[in-house]
Structures are given as C-alpha cells and as structure tokens.
Amino acid sequence: MKILSIETSCDETGIAIIEANGDFENPQFKILGNALHSQIDIHKEYGGVFPKIAKREHAHNIIPMLQKAFEDASVATEKILDKNIFEEKFSKIEKILEREDGLYTLLKNFTEQNGIPKDIDLISVTSGPGLEPALWVGISFAKGLSVLWDKPLLAINHMEGHIMSVLLEEKLENTQNNKSIFPALALLISGGHTELVKINNWGSYEVIGKTKDDAVGEAYDKVARLLGLSYPGGPEIARLAKKSRSEGTQDKIELPRPMISHEGFDFSFSGLKTAVRYQIEKDFPEITEIPNEYKILIAGAFEESVKDVLIKKTREAVEKTGAKTLIVAGGVIANEYLRENLEKFSDEDVSVHFPSIKLSTDNAVMIAAAAYMNFLQNKITPTDQIRAEGNLSL
C-alpha cells in the first residue's frame, strides 16, 4: 500500500510517500518521496524555535512539500472535473483549515492545478509530542486531505516515528537461531526528549527512564549558545569535539557526569549545561569573546560527559530488561562519536540499530513507517478525535 505522511512537530516541514508491504514481523518499506523543508535559517536568528513562527512557516511550505513529494514519487493524479463536487469538497474542509494562515486557498489552488492522487491508500500525521501550533498545521492539513481524497487518516506519535525509523532501511532480525528481536530497548535522544524505552513488541512500550530536565539535544543547543555557536548546536559542538579528540584534549576540562551513579534510568542534563557556564565564567571572567581553542576544549569535554552518561545508563538498562536489540534514534544520533560508542553494544551480543544519518533528524518517512505498523494493528483514531498533543508520551 502507499502511505503519505506529514510531519510538522518542530522546525521541519516534511511530507513523505512510501510503499509498505509485508506483515507485522516482516514489514518492507520503499521510500518513494521524502520532501523536507528546514526552517533552521529562520530560527537561527532567534537562537531557538518559536512556535508562532514555526506555525506560519509550516503553513507556507507544506504545499511546496506536497508538490515535491508528488513529483519524487511520480504520483498519478486525476482532476475533479465537476465544479459542484469540487466546491462541495472544499466547503467541507474550509472550517478545518481556516486557522492555518491561508492554507485553505493554497490547497484549493494546488488541487485545481494538480487534481487528487489516484493511488494513495492512507494518510498519516504526527499528532504529538511537539509544539502545538506547529502540530496543528500538519493535523489540519491531513484532515483536509483525508476529506478531499476520501482516504483514512492515522495519527502518529513522533517518538514512535523515531523508533520505527530503523525499520526503513534494514531488516531487524536476530540471526542467532532465529531468536526474537524482543524485548528490545530504545534510547531516544532528540532536541525535546531523552528516554529509555523497553519495547515488548512494536506498539507496546514502557518508558523506563527519561530526563528530569533538559534533553540531550537541548543541552547541545544550550552549550552551543554559551559558546556563541549557531543553532542548532548539535552539529557545531560535534565538529569542535571531533577536533578536540584529534588533538587529544577532550579530558583537559573536567565536567560532571550527571546522575551517572544514581540508581534507575533517569537522566539530567541541565546541570551539565550549568557546569559549562560556571567553567566559562571562571576561565573568562571578563572576556566576552571566547577563543576558538577554548571552545574546542569545552566541546570535547561536553561530548565525553554525554557519551559516558548515555553508555552507562544504556548498559544498565540492557542488563535489567534483558534486551536482545538496541535501537538508538532521534536527532542526536546523527552524532558520529555517540554512534561509534553505542555501536560497541554489539560486542555484548545485542544487535544494535540506528537510522541512517539522513533519517536521524526529523522527517516524515519515519511517520509513514510507524503508520503502517499501526495500520497493521488496526490502531486507528477517529478523525474528529485527532488533535495536537504537545506532551504526548509513548
């Protein structure tokens, strides 16, 4: 079946189209289109994502993304020739789209020119967690398309999308005597979340640990800001930390490893950011411009601390849950050093899986994969009950 998915939970406007086949144990996916527009350049000016601006940008960019996804996937369309039917369909969705910054008119123009797709079977959209005004753009748009195209709509949890991102490019299997891949453990590390999740089966999740304050990605972004680096901080810090390791200076500055000796699987990263701030204030009480060599030292030390904490907590969680599979997903796993270190769990008889770097940060393809798995389980929310849930948990 062909699935179109929409992702607008934060600062990426994504529309993807995939072909999904196979059953629950052996799903197969083919990515046909993956249109993604990043708002980073706009949010950079403010040093973070502002929900109102994100909402406006999603509404501006979602139709061009739909157009691109249609082109990439060579979607066959047909025009609605009967003027009355066309107007009747649009009168039904006017209310749904009225709050979304002109999206109603944009969709009307798009449909007039392109018609509606002949072979999309299912529509899916992220309904949370995320920024509610941003989520609503995707949800309203998806509801509109569902009425217009007369296709079912599924609401998807963004974090389940990150988990399912590992299914898109490889087959997950436990090759040792055909053993099950479950229980599995997911380490989810993104800008908004840091969670350890026990997966008993696809769709059956138990959050066993999470951050008490800042998420890992948030800590990267905040430390980057302290160093005067641009948003998002993850890639910037990663670049400097790599330099620090190549110069062998990653242990020069000592930073704390928050919660590393605490029992349980919770994290805390706000203290690490504060420790960085104190360290900078101590070393440069008066200078406002921090020298690049010093930024490299801090980035190296910060990344070591993050790595140590993630590895320690994940190791304990693998042992406690008896996980046979480790899935690491979320934007922060675009980080090569963390990848390298987490990969080492495979020496301990755990099969380790990451999405490719491209599918690590937010995208709509992962939402489509999760939609297929939900569809196979008949997990369908009635369309009129779908709403943005900023704090939706797994």
Which residue has 């910054």 as its token pair? 101
Distance CA 93, CA 103 (A): 11
State which of residues 128, 144, 161, 234 lies at the interface with ligand KG4 (CB under 6 A).
234
Q: Calculate Rg over the CA atoms of the chain.
A: 22
Question: At closest approach, how far in Å is the CB of 42 from ligand KG4?
Answer: 16
Q: Which residues pair with 327 in a beta bridge?
A: 186, 353
In order of 91, 115, 229, the CA distances from 86 in angstroms are 9, 10, 50
Residue 367 · residue 7 · CB < 8 Å: yes
Q: Which residues pair with 126 in a beta bridge?
A: 156
* Span interacting with Zn ion, options 34-42, 183-191, 200-208, 267-275, rule CB under 5 A: 183-191
Which is nearest to 377 in space by CA: 260, 202, 119, 129?
202
Question: At closest approach, how far in Å is the CB of 329 from Zn ion?
Answer: 9
Q: Is 332 in the site for ligand KG4 (CB under 6 A)?
A: yes
Nearer to Zn ion, 304 or 362 (CB): 362
Nearer to Zn ion, 190 or 244 (CB): 190
State which of residues 4, 238, 326, 394 lies at the interface with ligand KG4 (CB under 6 A).
238
Nearer to ligand KG4, 27 or 233 (CB): 233
Question: At closest approach, how far in Å is the CB of 373 from ligand KG4?
Answer: 19
Q: Is 117 in the site for ligand KG4 (CB under 6 A)?
A: no
Q: Which residues pair with 196 in a beta bridge?
A: 187, 209
Which residues make Cβ contacts (< 8 Å) with residue 261, sequence separation at least 6?
none
Q: Considering CB under 6 A, how many residues would be counted as binding ligand KG4?
A: 19
State which of residues 127, 314, 335, 351 lies at the interface with ligand KG4 (CB under 6 A).
335
DSSP per residue, 268-281? --HHHHHHHHHHHH
Q: Which residues pair with 232 in a beta bridge?
A: none
Q: Is 369 in the site for ligand KG4 (CB under 6 A)?
A: no
Query: Per-residue x/- marks for Zn ion, 342-371, CB under 5 A?
Result: --------------------x---------
Q: Is 161 exposed, middle or buried (0-12, 13-18, 19+ CB in 10 A)?
A: buried
Query: Per-residue x/- marks for ligand KG4, 52-81, CB under 6 A?
Result: ------------------------------
160 touches, from ligand KG4, Zn ion, none (C-beta below 5 to 8 Å by class): none
The count of C-alpha atoms lying within 13 angstroms of the C-alpha of 62, restricted to the half-sphere facing its C-beta, is 34
361 touches, from Zn ion, ligand KG4, none (C-beta below 5 to 8 Å by class): ligand KG4
Which is nearest to 21 in space by CA: 30, 13, 11, 9?
30
The DSSP symbol for 172 reads -
Q: How many CB atoms lie within 10 A of CB 160?
A: 25
Question: At closest approach, how far in Å is the CB of 131 from Zn ion?
Answer: 11
State which of residues 51, 183, 235, 256 lies at the interface with ligand KG4 (CB under 6 A).
235
235 touches, from Zn ion, ligand KG4, none (C-beta below 5 to 8 Å by class): ligand KG4
State which of residues 29, 90, 220, 372 lies at the interface with ligand KG4 (CB under 6 A).
220
* Span interacting with ligand KG4, options 140-148, 168-176, 200-208, 329-337, rule CB under 6 A: 329-337
Question: What phi, psi does 167 have (nearest 5°)?
Answer: -85, -15
What is the SS3 string spanning 190-208?
CCCCEEEEEEEECCEEEEE
Structure tokens at 214: 């800042």
Which residues make Cβ contacts (< 8 Å) with residue 339, sequence separation at least 6?
328, 333, 354
Residues 299-318 that bind ligand KG4 (CB under 6 A): none
Residues 349-368 that bind ligand KG4 (CB under 6 A): 361-362
Nearer to ligand KG4, 120 or 166 (CB): 166
Question: At closest approach, how far in Å is the CB of 331 from ligand KG4?
Answer: 2
Residues that bind Zn ion (CB under 5 A): 190, 362
Binding region for ligand KG4 (CB under 6 A): 10, 190-192, 217, 220-221, 232-235, 238, 330-332, 334-335, 361-362
